[in-house]
A = this chain, B = another copy of it.
Amino acid sequence: MNPAKRKRLESRGWRIGSSKEFLRLSEQENAYIELKLALAENLKKRRLEKKLTQVELAKLLQSNQSRVAKMEAGHPSVSLDLLVKSLLALGTTKQDIAGIILQE
């Protein structure tokens, strides 16, 4: 919906937020969560490939084992920033990261 139209409707008391928009909200939420889980799983995959324990990876990241566990689980308390920085610390390239995001 274009902004001008939205403004017209809203000024007349309409509350925008069609069911279509509502559904798109959950689509967005879903895409965000999927993205995070893909990064999380890949982090674990790379750690195992390097034969590191969570404690060892935590030390590398200047973090701690419990946070690594939460990262690999894609826990809600873990940010994309931390996931991406952690992947980069393991030598992941942006080409790799793009590939991870594309995974189905």
Interface residues, chain A, with chain B CB atoms under 8 Å away: 2-3, 28, 31-32, 34-35, 51-53, 56, 79-81, 84-85, 88-89, 93-95, 97-99, 101-102
Query: Which residues of B sit under 8 angstroms from A53, Cβ to Cβ?
Result: 3
Given known contacts A81-B81, A84-B80, A28 and B89 CB-to-CB distance under 8 angstroms: yes
Partner of A80 from B31, B79, B89, B93 at Cβ < 8 Å: B79
Q: Which residues of B contact A84 (CB under 8 A)?
A: 32, 35, 80
- The residue in chain B whose Cβ has the minimal distance to the Cβ of A87 is B28
Closest chain B residue to A90, Cβ basis: B28
- Residue numbers in B under 8 Å from A98 (CB-CB): 98-99, 101-102
The answer to whether B28 touches A94 (Cβ under 8 A) is no
Q: Which residues of B contact A31 (CB under 8 A)?
A: 88, 93-94
